[in-house]
Amino acid sequence: MSEDERSTSSSDHDPDRESESSRTLRALFIERYQDLKSRLARRLGSLEWAEDALQDTYLRLNGREIVGDVRNPAAYLLRSAFHVALNQRRADNRRLNAEEVEALLNLADDAPDAVRVISGRSDLERLKQVMAELPPRPRAILLAARLEGLSRQEIAQRFGISVSLVEKDLRRAQEHCVARFKKIRRPE
């Protein structure tokens, strides 16, 4: 609101005048409702939004007293309704619409179900068994490569062996694990 529309001088604070200002604004609102609605609809681009904003503005006028004199009551009402409409739009933009809520409700749950958890634990136990069958160095090389993410060069330095021996042990360990897993899944 501009200074022209409303003067809020605290020295003029008179309860009877406030009541008179509020009554005057409500009477003007009712009297000029159609004009306010059409002007607000042009500014907002929607008759429905204008009607909603005017209804909320009227409820707000009834719910509180106006402090100070309103110099231009029609402009004050229009500006108040416009600000109500802007606040409604901001609130609507923060809320999810029905389609967005539905989409959220239909999101797939990535958490594994009980069967997958049990199967995963079973696979982990089998892997532990298969890994235990490996000789210590190939097992350690496989873990360094797959779990620690070390390069072949880093593994060779750690164990004091050549890169080609690291590759050979790693290949044998992987082949052993694959073969044993196939055998476990397809018992003879």
172 vs 166: CA distance, rounded Å: 10
CA distance 131 to 78: 78
Q: CA 173 to CA 182: how far, in whole Å? A: 14
Kindly report the number of other CB atoms within 10 A of residue 141's CB atom.
Answer: 27
* pLDDT of 67 over the 70 cut: no
- Domain range spanning residue 59? 6-104
Q: Which tens digit of pLDDT belongs to each residue from 41-62?
A: 998 888 998 999 999 888 888 8
Q: Are 134 and 180 in contact (CB under 8 A)?
A: no
Query: Do 81 and 152 fall within a single domain?
Result: no
Query: How many angstroms separate the CA atoms of 176 and 170, rounded?
Result: 10
**pLDDT for 155 beyond 90:** yes
* Structural domain includes residue 43: yes
How many distinct structural domains can be found in the chain?
A: 2
Considering the domain boundaries, does residue 1 fall inside one? Answer: no
The verdict on 19 and 71 lying in the same domain is yes
- Domain stops at, among 104, 138, 166: 104
Same domain, 174 and 118: yes
Taking the C-alpha atoms of residue 98 and residue 95, their distance in angstroms, rounded to an integer, is 10
CATH number, domain at 44? Answer: 1.10.1740
Give the chain's mean pLDDT: 81
pTM of the model: 0.42
| Residues 120 and 43 occupy one common structural domain | no
Confirm whether 27 is domain-assigned.
yes
Convert the pLDDT of each residue in 70-113 to its tens digit: 788 888 888 988 888 888 888 877 777 777 777 777 776 667 67
